[in-house]
A and B are shown apart, each in its own frame.
Chain A
C-alpha cells in the first residue's frame, strides 16, 4: 500500500515536482502545518516578507524576471486579504503566480471563525481560477492543475485555499498528470492561410508599424528573438507598450520608443498615420489608444494574441491571429524567408518615404527636457543611471507615477525580462518588493528599483526582508516631495489646486536606511550625481538612494485625456518655440 502523506507534505511534494525553488510568504495560525513541514524540504527556500502584499509583488518580480511562476504562501483572513492587491496586479499584467492560503478548519467555515474570510470569494475576480480544497484526496490534483492554469495560455495568478484540517489529513500523493487538458483549451488556433494573408499585407504596406506588448515577454526569450528577426526581415518601424519594453532593443534605430500617453512623438504619430498596424501581444489598453474613435483611423489592423478575448475588445481588427507569439512570429518569419527565396523583391523601398516622415517626427526630440546646473532633473538622473549601468545586464523595477514614466522613456532595455513594472493596475509600492523577488531569482545581477518617495513608502517595510537575506537591491528614489503624477494632473487639469498631493512630513531616508541596517546615499547636486550613483552600484548590499530632484518637473510628452495620438503636448522646449510662432501651446 502506498504511503499516506499529510496535506502539508502533499503541498511540498507538489512544489518539488513543479520544480519550485523559492516561496515568498508569511506564517500564521491557519498555515502552521505547512510551515512545520518546510524544514523537511531543503530544495525549497522560503523568503520571509514583512507584509503579504510584499510577498505577492516579490513573487511577481521573481516570475517576470525568470519566466517561472512565483509562489506565495499566506495565512487565512488578513494574510489572504493583504495579498489581494498583488493578485489583482498580477491578473492585470498577466504574471503567473500560485498563491497558497491557509483557511480555518472545514467545520468552522461559515461561522465567522477567528481569521476567517471568504478567500475564494474575495479572490475570484482577481485570479484566473481558485480552489477551496475541502477533500484531502483532491489536494495533489488541484495543486498541479493550479500550476498549469497559472502558466499556460495567457499567464495569471491562481489561488489555492487549504483549510487547516486538510493540511493535517492524510491521502495518497498523485504525480502531475501529463495528458490532462484544460477542457481542450488549446492556445494556437491560427492557420497558414492567416499567416499568408498577413505576409501579403506586409508586402503591400507603405506606412507600416509594429506595436509589441507584454505578450512577447510572456512568450519567453525565443519570442523576442523571433520578433527581432521579423523586424529585421521587414525593415518596419517598431514601437512598444510599457510592458513590452526590452523585447526589442531600446537603442536600435528601428525602435521608435514607447507609445501611448507618455510615449514618444514619433511612435504616436506613426500609430496615427500608419496604413498597417501589427499588434503583437498587446491589448489596446486605454493608456495606449487615446481616443478610440480617432485611433489609427486609416490603417489595416492585425492583432496577434494568445487570448481570444483580447481581440476586438477595444479596437476592431481586420485580421486576428490567435496563438502563442513565438509560434506565430516564427511561422511568419519562415513564410517571409521562403517567399524571398522565390523572388528577392522586398518592400523596403516601398517604405523609404515612411521612414523619412518618421525621421522628421524624430527631429522633435520629444523626450527632451531643460537640464539644470542647480537642481537634479529627474530625467537627467534616470539618464545617468542608465549610462552608468547599461553594461551590467541590469534589472529594473519601478513604482508607479512620474518616475515610472521617466524610467520607461530614458532607460533603454535591450533584453526581455529586465523591466518589471506595474502597468495595468498601477500599484504604488510594487517596485521595492518586486526588486526583492528579482534579486532572489538573479542573485548575481544588479537590481535597481527606480522609485518615487511616495510610492516607496507604501511597501518600505520590505527593506527589512532585503537586509535579512542580504539582497543588494538598490532603491533609487526620485524624491520630489510630491505624488508627482497626481501633482502633474492637478497642474494641467485642476487649476493647480494641489489637493493633498504634497507629502508634508517625509522621513529622512538616510536615517531610515541606517535604521534598516542598509546603506543610505543622498544626492541633491547634479555635479555629484555620477559619483554617488557609482558609489551605489559599487556597494555590496542594499542601498536606499535619496535623489532630490526638481519638484516642479512634469512628464512630457503627453496625450491629454480624450485626445487622439496626433495631438500630444510636448515638453517645455517645444512649448516655448510654439509660443514664439504664435501657434498655441499644445497642438502640433
Chain B
C-alpha cells in the first residue's frame, strides 16, 4: 500500500449495508423536511425513497417514511441524529425483512396501446390490486400497490406492453396487529 500523505486516517474494512425503513414523526412546520433530508445528505447517508404527509392536523404532526441503506452502526447513528432534531417527536426503524411490519408503495402506470395490450397489463398487475383510474380507447391509467421490488419488476414487464409513464410514491409503513411504533 502506498504511504498515506493525508492528515486523515485511511478508510478501513467496511461492513455490508442492509436496507432499513425509518418512520419519523415531526412537527409539520416550514423547513422540517429540509432538516431531515439535509441530515441525510450532510452526513452521507443514502435515501432510497421518501414519503411524507401530515397525519394529524390537530397536533400538526407529519409522518416521514424513509427507506435507507446502511451498516448497523450507521443506522444507529441515523436514528440518534434524527432524534436530536428539535421538531422530531419520535423515530422508529426496522429492517426490510421485518415480518411484523407492512410496507407498501403505490404506482400509477400509464399504458398506451390497443385494448388487448391494456388487458394484458391489467392481467399482469392482478396480484397488486390494480385499479383503473382513467380509461380511453387507446390508453389507461392503472394504480397498483405493492412492494418496491415488485413495482420495479412490473415497471420492466409492462414496458413492451405500452407503458409510457410511471409515477410512484415512496414506501409507507405500518405495524401488524394491535401494536404501534414506539
Report A-chain residues with C-beta under 8 Å of the C-beta of B64: none
Judge whether A291 and B9 touch: CB under 8 Å. Answer: yes
Instruction: Report the Cα distance A491→B8, complex, angstroms.
Output: 17
Which partner residue on chain A sits nearest B80 by CB separation? A309
Which partner residue on chain A sits nearest B79 by CB separation? A309
Contact flags A295-320 to B (C-beta < 8 A → 1, else 0): 00000000000011101110010000
Report A-chain residues with C-beta under 8 Å of the C-beta of B84: 307, 309
Judge whether A183 and B77 touch: CB under 8 Å. Answer: no
Judge whether A128 and B5 touch: CB under 8 Å. Answer: no
Judge whether A290 and B9 touch: CB under 8 Å. Answer: yes
Instruction: Report the Cα distance A120→B34, complex, angstroms.
Output: 11
Judge whether B10 and A183 touch: CB under 8 Å. Answer: no
Instruction: Report the Cα distance A8→B35, complex, angstroms.
Output: 28
Instruction: Report the Cα distance A83→B34, complex, angstroms.
Output: 21
Find residues 83-124 in chain B having any chain A CB closer than 8 Å to their own CB: 83-86, 88-89
Report A-chain residues with C-beta under 8 Å of the C-beta of B88: 183
Report A-chain residues with C-beta under 8 Å of the C-beta of B83: 185, 308-309
Which one of B8, B31, B85 lies within 8 Å of A561 (CB-CB)? B8
Which partner residue on chain A sits nearest B42 by CB separation? A125
Given A312-B73, A493-B5, A132-B81 contact (CB < 8 Å): no
Contact flags A471-514 to B (C-beta < 8 A → 1, else 0): 00000000000000000010001100000000000000000000
Contact flags B50-88 to A (C-beta < 8 A → 1, else 0): 000000000000000000000001001100110111101
Which partner residue on chain A sits nearest B84 by CB separation? A309
Which partner residue on chain B sits nearest A289 by CB separation? B9
Which one of B7, B80, B89 lies within 8 Å of A183 (CB-CB)? B89
Find residues 162-201 in chain A having any chain B CB closer than 8 Å to their own CB: 182-183, 185
Report B-chain residues with C-beta under 8 Å of the C-beta of A182: 86
Which one of B9, B31, B77 lies within 8 Å of A292 (CB-CB)? B9
Which one of A124, A183, A185 lies within 8 Å of B31 (CB-CB)? A124
Q: Does B6 have its Cβ within 8 Å of any Cβ on chain A?
A: yes
B82 → chain A, closest Cβ, in Å?
Answer: 9
Q: Does B17 have its Cβ within 8 Å of any Cβ on chain A?
A: no
Report A-chain residues with C-beta under 8 Å of the C-beta of B34: 121, 124
A283 → chain B, closest Cβ, in Å?
Answer: 13
Instruction: Report the Cα distance A313→B7, complex, angstroms.
Output: 20
Report A-chain residues with C-beta under 8 Å of the C-beta of B31: 120-121, 124, 132
Report B-chain residues with C-beta under 8 Å of the C-beta of A120: 31
B14 → chain A, closest Cβ, in Å?
Answer: 12
Report A-chain residues with C-beta under 8 Å of the C-beta of B167: none
Report A-chain residues with C-beta under 8 Å of the C-beta of B4: 561-562
Instruction: Report the Cα distance A124→B32, complex, angstroms.
Output: 10
B180 → chain A, closest Cβ, in Å?
Answer: 17
Judge whether A286 and B9 touch: CB under 8 Å. Answer: yes
Contact flags A544-574 to B (C-beta < 8 A → 1, else 0): 0000000000000000011000000000000
Instruction: Report the Cα distance A132→B34, complex, angstroms.
Output: 14
Report B-chain residues with C-beta under 8 Å of the C-beta of A185: 83
Report B-chain residues with C-beta under 8 Å of the C-beta of A562: 4, 6, 9-10
Q: Does B182 have its Cβ within 8 Å of any Cβ on chain A?
A: no
Q: Does A293 have its Cβ within 8 Å of any Cβ on chain B?
A: yes
Report A-chain residues with C-beta under 8 Å of the C-beta of B136: none
Which partner residue on chain B sits nearest A287 by CB separation? B7
Judge whether B7 and A561 touch: CB under 8 Å. Answer: yes
Given A293-B12, A308-B80, A129-B6 contact (CB < 8 Å): no
Which one of A124, A134, A494 lies within 8 Å of B5 (CB-CB)? A494
A317 → chain B, closest Cβ, in Å?
Answer: 12
Judge whether B86 and A149 touch: CB under 8 Å. Answer: yes
Instruction: Report the Cα distance A292→B30, complex, angstroms.
Output: 40
Which one of B8, B38, B76 lies within 8 Å of A286 (CB-CB)? B8
Report B-chain residues with C-beta under 8 Å of the C-beta of A561: 4-10
Contact flags B138-178 to A (C-beta < 8 A → 1, else 0): 00000000000000000000000000000000000000000
Instruction: Report the Cα distance A561→B73, complex, angstroms.
Output: 24
Contact flags B12-25 to A (C-beta < 8 A → 1, else 0): 11000000000000
Which partner residue on chain A sits nearest B10 by CB separation? A562
Which one of B9, B38, B80 lies within 8 Å of A125 (CB-CB)? B38
Instruction: Report the Cα distance A291→B81, complex, angstroms.
Output: 24
Task: Give residues in B with beta carbon < 8 Å to A.
Answer: 4-10, 12-13, 30-31, 34-35, 38, 42, 73, 76-77, 80-81, 83-86, 88-89
CB-based closest 10 A-B pairs: A309-B80, A129-B86, A493-B5, A562-B4, A562-B10, A561-B4, A125-B42, A308-B80, A293-B12, A309-B81
Task: Give residues in A with beta carbon < 8 Å to B.
Answer: 120-121, 124-125, 128-129, 132, 134, 149, 182-183, 185, 286, 289-293, 307-309, 311-313, 316, 489, 493-494, 561-562
Pairs A–B under 8 Å by Cβ, sample size 5: A132-B30, A183-B89, A290-B9, A308-B83, A312-B76
